[in-house]
């Protein structure tokens, strides 16, 4: 068993990104990321602070707009429109989840697809599924970067994703399919889940249930990617995978923390830089593949 060190890979990739930002800044193009956060959810506060700190370290202009939980949908939409128009900000991210009175769909549709560094706009989701991705959600992008760095060849392999969210499950399935894996998406209604997961050469888990995947569900030698950010019975941060037991079965496994999370932030920075590059090239908005 080998542990995938997402933190170390993130640090390494961020060093390259910092150089990129310096070069762009010399040309007068300073990437700018605005993060909009509604409410006081403590986990969201941590993630947003991490994003802000990383952006600043790389020389990316960054701004966090903190708004009360009760902010109306129309106020939020007006704010997004304001940043759509403002050339100083080439990346706009609205932290999810949103309060229940706000339509996530309306908000994601309102963000200019060119500035949609999360890749959650239907235009960017559609382009991903069409096989011509432009903006790719950062968690799946980070997982693909891990596969590349650790020489995980997906071609012809059986990949199983547990979780069908728009932000992780669906896009990682498509990215692995584009890398020629045979992909199965399992979810809370799947029957005989263990039967599916035991056949997986690659297992990606993104469900938000602490230590859900146990060693008996995993094939010997599988690569296991844990997207969970959960709390265990003692309130300690853990993932969707029971790391201590599954690590004895897997050939490669990501820890929580220090696995997928730092890569997510890194890929968000990369997308922000790419979106700044596109804005420099006459607003070209085209596939990166
Ligand atoms: N519009 C939007 N875009 C997102 O990308 C987005 C979002 N909304 N909502 C919430 C999820 C979650 N997410 C994380 C990012 C980094 C860590 C991260 O850095 N984790 C650290 C530990 C952090 C800690 O100590 O709690 C680690 O795994 O090592 C975790 C989770 C981004 N998300």
pLDDT tens figures, 28-40: 999 999 999 999 9
Distance 282 CA to ligand 1 centre (A): 32
* Ligand 1 pocket mutation pick from 43, 80, 261, 268 by most atoms within 8 angstroms of CB: 261
For 1, the token pair is 């068993």
Helix (H, G, I), strand (E, B), or coil: what is residue 285? coil
- In the chain, where does DSSP find H-type helix? 6-26, 42-58, 73-85, 104-110, 122-129, 138-149, 169-178, 193-197, 243-246, 260-280
Task: Give me the pLDDT at residue 284, please.
Answer: 65
CB 4 within 8 A of CB 254: yes
Catalytic residues: 51, 95, 118
pLDDT band at 287 (very low <50, low <70, confident <90, very high): low
Residue 282 has pLDDT above 70, yes or no: no
pLDDT of 286:
66
**Phi/psi at 9 (nearest 5 deg)?**
-65, -40
**Among residues 221, 164, 214, which one has the least CA distance to residue 188?**
164
Q: Is 164 annotated as a binding residue?
A: yes
Q: Does the beta carbon of 137 sit less than 6 angstroms from any atom of ligand 1?
A: no
pLDDT band, very low/low/confident/very high, at 1 (cuts 50, 70, 90):
confident
- Residue 280 has a pLDDT of 79
- Map tokens 């995978």 to a residue: 241
Look up tokens 């549709």; give the residue: 109
Rg (CA), the chain: 19
Average predicted confidence (pLDDT) for the chain: 96
Instruction: Please determine, for residue 274, whether its predicted confidence score (pLDDT) is greater than 70.
Output: yes
Query: Cα separation of 60 and 25, whole Å?
Result: 9
Q: What is the mean pLDDT of residues 221-243?
A: 97
Cβ–ligand 1 contact at 258 (below 6 Å) = yes
Which atom of ligand 1 is nearest to 137's Cα?
5
Phi, psi of 64, rounded to the nearest 5 degrees: -110, 120
Domain boundaries, the chain: 27-113, 138-261
Measure the CA–CA gap between 155 and 157, rounded to whole angstroms: 5
- What's the pLDDT score for residue 266? 98
* Closest protein CA for atom 11 of ligand 1: 96
CATH of the domain spanning 27-113, picked from 3.20.20.70, 3.40.50.300, 3.90.1720.10, 3.40.50.10860 = 3.40.50.10860
Annotated ligand binding at 189? The verdict is no
Distance in Å, CA 26 to ligand 1 centroid: 31
Strand order in the sheet with 32-38: 61-67, 32-38, 91-94
Ligand 1 binding pocket includes 228 (Cβ within 6 Å): no
pLDDT at 289: 47
What is the 140 CA–ligand 1 centroid distance (Å)?
12
Is 72 assigned a ligand-binding role in the annotation?
no
Q: Is the C-beta atom of 261 inside 6 A of ligand 1?
A: yes
Top CATH class of 138-261 equals alpha beta
Minimum-distance ligand 1 atom for the alpha carbon of 256: 28
Q: 272: Cβ below 6 Å to ligand 1?
A: no
Tell me, yes or no, if the two domains 27-113 and 138-261 fold the same way.
Answer: yes
pLDDT category of residue 95 using cuts at 50, 70 and 90:
very high
Across residues 82-109, what is the average pLDDT? Answer: 97
DSSP letters spanning 210-244? TT-B-GGGS-TT-EEEE---EE-TTS-EE-SB-HH
Q: State the DSSP code for 32.
A: E
User: What does the pLDDT average to over 207-211?
Assistant: 98
CA distances from 117 to 31, 112, 151 (A): 12, 10, 26
How far apart, in Å, are the Cα atoms of 37 and each of 67, 148, 193, 284? 6, 32, 36, 28
């Amino acid at each position: 068993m080998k542990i995938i060190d997402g933190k170390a890979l993130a640090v390494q990739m961020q060093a390259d990104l910092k150089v990129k930002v310096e070069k762009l800044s010399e040309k007068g193009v300073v990437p700018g990321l605005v993060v909009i956060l509604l409410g006081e959810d403590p986990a969201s506060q941590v993630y947003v602070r991490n994003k802000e700190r990383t952006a600043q370290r790389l020389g990316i202009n960054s701004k966090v707009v903190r708004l009360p939980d009760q902010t109306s949908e129309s106020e939020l939409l007006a704010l997004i429109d304001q940043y759509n128009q403002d050339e100083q900000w080439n990346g706009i991210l609205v932290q999810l989840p949103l309060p229940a009175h706000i339509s996530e769909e309306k908000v994601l549709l309102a963000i200019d697809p060119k500035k949609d560094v999360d890749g959650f706009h239907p235009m960017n989701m559609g382009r991903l599924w069409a096989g011509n991705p432009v903006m790719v959600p950062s968690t799946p992008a980070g997982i693909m970067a891990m596969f590349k760095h650790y020489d995980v060849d997906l071609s012809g392999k059986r990949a199983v994703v547990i979780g069908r969210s728009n932000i992780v499950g669906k896009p990682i399935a498509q990215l692995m399919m584009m890398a020629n894996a045979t992909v199965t998406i399992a979810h809370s209604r799947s029957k005989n889940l263990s039967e599916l997961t035991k056949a997986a050469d690659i297992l990606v888990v993104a469900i938000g249930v602490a230590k859900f995947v146990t060693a008996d569900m995993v094939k010997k030698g599988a690569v296991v990617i844990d997207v969970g950010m959960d709390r265990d019975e003692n309130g300690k941060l853990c993932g969707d995978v029971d790391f201590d037991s599954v690590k004895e079965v897997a050939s490669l496994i990501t820890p929580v923390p220090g696995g997928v999370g730092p890569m997510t932030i890194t890929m968000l920075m990369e997308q922000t830089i790419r979106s700044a590059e596109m804005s420099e090239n006459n607003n070209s908005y085209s596939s990166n593949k």
